[in-house]
Amino acid sequence: MSPGAASQLARLSGLAVREARQVGSQHGYQHFMITLAGGRRAFAKVVADAVSAPSAAAFAADETAAAFAAEASGLRWLGEPGAVPVPEVFAAGPAALVISMITPGQATPEAAFRFGAELARLHEAGADSFGAPWRGFIASLPLDNTQQSQWPDWYASRRLLPFLRLATDSGALGPQEGRLTEAVMDRIGSLAGPAEPPSRIHGDCWAGNVLWSGGRGWLIDPAAHGGHRETDLAMLALFGAPHLDRIMAGYNDTVPLAAGWRSRVPLHQLHPLLVHACLFGASYRDPVLAAARAALTS
């Protein structure tokens, strides 16, 4: 435990922090387990060096403040319907985000089925449009949340095109991946499936952003926005989620998916794969290529 870290986190968050222990880092943020006055446990995400070097330039970066604000807004918005549990936001400032601690539990088949049913109810709560009224972020990258009324054009212009450009400009993707992704965008109207209203989605719903506690799946670290409900489910399948078959059963029993949803999984996985190509480079060329091809032949 570091008394110095506790006092710095108290200053950054405006909370009475009694104890703080660094537990890791990711995407330019330091992670802390903290204890608040009164003994309540919490998790803090802090700008790198803001605790050890408070005068660092990153401390007051507008992008960081916007990213923390987006995460806080997303958690609160996802929590509004009371469907899937999310952590409580204790503080969200330009250098620190503090949320309640989720006690680790087990991903049982019963919990997975319940999570699928609750995720369906969350999606069913809906959104005003595709996009969101706040700036978006996924990992360390900005998301264009400009709101539109039609999902196919929105997905192509706000989720595929920006990351295709970024990945090709950096050399992470080559001409073949570019051409096939552009072909997906050109045919997006026929590939998107039946029209659906905007769903209230997590937006980065891979298994690492689902915590299991108390017999339920909890959502963390959202890129929340009004989107297509198949996007969250495709993300769960992309890197594997525990008891995915039970999650899907719980979902379909609650709000059945549209016909042909399985064939559209690669279309919805194309965006997160492009994001990974931007973040991690050419190792994602083959997965992007495979997803684009599968989307075009579905």
Do residues 296 and 177 lie in contact, with contact meaning Cβ atoms separated by under 8 Å?
Answer: no
Q: Percentage of residues in the chain with pLDDT exceeding 90?
A: 85
How many C-alpha atoms does 287 have within 13 Å on its Cβ side?
A: 19
pLDDT of residue 3: 65
Average pLDDT over residues 33-43: 93
pLDDT at 109: 98
Q: What is the pLDDT of residues 69-84, one digit of tens each?
A: 999 999 999 999 999 9
Within a 13 Å sphere around the CA of 144, how many CA atoms are in the beta-carbon half?
13
DSSP assignment string, 16-43: -EEEEEEEEEETTEEEEEEEETTS-EEE
E strand or H helix at 78, and its extent?
Answer: helix 62-79
pLDDT of 270 above 50: yes
Task: Determine the Cα–Cα distance for residues 169 and 172; give it in Å rounded to an integer.
Answer: 8
The predicted model gives 13-27 an average pLDDT of 90
Q: State residue 47's pLDDT score.
A: 85
Above 50 in pLDDT, residue 182?
A: yes
> DSSP per residue over 230-296, as a string?
HHHHHHHHHS--TTHHHHHHHHHHHSPPPTTGGGGHHHHHHHHHHHHHHHH-GGGHHHHHHHHHHHH
pLDDT tens digits, residue range 165-174? 999 999 999 9
Give the integer Cα–Cα distance in Å for 57 and 60.
6
**184-207 pLDDT, tens digit each:** 999 999 999 999 999 999 999 999
Instruction: Work out the average pLDDT over 107-113.
Output: 98
Burial letters for 253-289: b for 16+ Cβ neighbours within 10 Å, e otherwise? Answer: ebbebeeebeebbbbbbbbbbbbbbbbeeeebbebbb
pLDDT at 255 over 60: yes
- Look at residue 49 and tell me whether its pLDDT is greater than 50: yes
| CA distance linking residue 227 with residue 199, whole number of Å | 5
Per-residue pLDDT at 59? 40
Q: What is the DSSP letter of 132?
A: -
Q: Give pLDDT, residue 298.
A: 80
Across residues 32-57, what is the average pLDDT?
A: 77
Q: Is 90 exceeded by the pLDDT of residue 150?
A: yes
- φ, ψ at 284 (rounded to 5°): -100, 10
CA atoms within 13 A on the CB side of 268: 26
Q: If pLDDT is split at 50, 70 and 90, which confidence band does 57 have?
A: very low
Burial 195-213 (b: 16+ CB within 10 A, else e): eeebbbbbbbbbbebbbbb
Give residue 2's pLDDT band: very low, low, confident or very high (50, 70, 90): low
Q: SS3 for 96?
A: strand
Tokens coding 51: 């605790």
